[in-house]
Amino acid sequence: MFIEEVKKIVRRNEFYAAAIIIFFAVFLNFYIACDNLQDKPISQIPSAWELTVLRNYYCYNFTDTVFSTLLPLIASIMVADVYYTELKTGITNYIATRISYSSYIKNKVLASSTVVFVTMGIAVTVSIVLSIIAFPLQGHYSTDVSFRSLMMHDRYRILCGFEGTYPYLNIIFFGFIRCLFAVSSAIFAFSMTFIKRINRYLLMLSSTVYYYVYILLGALVANTFADPMSYNWADMINTSVTGVNRYGSIYMIFFYIIFQIAVAIFIIRRGVKKGDCIL
């Protein structure tokens, strides 16, 4: 059943559209980096890890948006309405006569999570590999080594020491976090199917709304308690979920992902238990 659900997802036009956007951003980021560094002296070429799509050394527009603020929407487009579509067409009534309803939903959630995680993982891996092939592992940019040595002592930046000592493991780790972020967004949007009277557009936008509400609440709390709080506490609350080694706390990033998945699982379990549907 799990394999069948994966096959159904990857055959959807929505999956192809989302995957094309993601990989287009990867190759566009690589092209822009190459274009900016063409004919530059070796002393001005950064390290390969700084030129991946996660760092966006030269491109801060489309590619950065795809892998940050637009990612919840893209992940939702990829898989979020797989159950919604079958529910609307009545396919669920036929499937429910052959397997248990809970098993049916469970396989859909696992398949959706796997497809999103693997797709994002491949995209991040391709970006890292392209950068390693085209650019030096240890860049010769004049501030590269000195800046890395300085940021190792900036304890308020997330995993700054890890970035300075093991930059490639660091970028792989944040790539893993970005994959989890995409999965949590997709599963949250999927869970909205169990909210009565929700339409397809609200379902697709739900994770994006959640993301911006989280940002706004964080900014509101940080600004409201700016005086009693230290600068570091404000930074922690305003931690960017899609940032790489920015000021803040790694725990807040995991809090966002875990809390979003927990809410989604609660909604799904409640819906399965009650037999809720949108019809």
Summarize pLDDT for 152-176 with one digit per residue, the tens: 556 667 777 777 778 889 899 999 9
Residue in this structure with the two tokens 């609350």, named with its chain if needed: 237
> In a 3-state reduction of DSSP, which class is residue 188?
helix
Average pLDDT of the residues in 197-224: 86
Lowest mean pLDDT among 26-35, 84-93, 106-115, 170-179: 84-93
Q: How does pLDDT run across 23-57, given as a tens digit for each residue?
A: 999 999 999 888 888 888 877 788 888 889 988 76
Give the mean pLDDT of 1-12: 87
pTM, two decimal places: 0.88
Average pLDDT score over residue span 208-221: 88
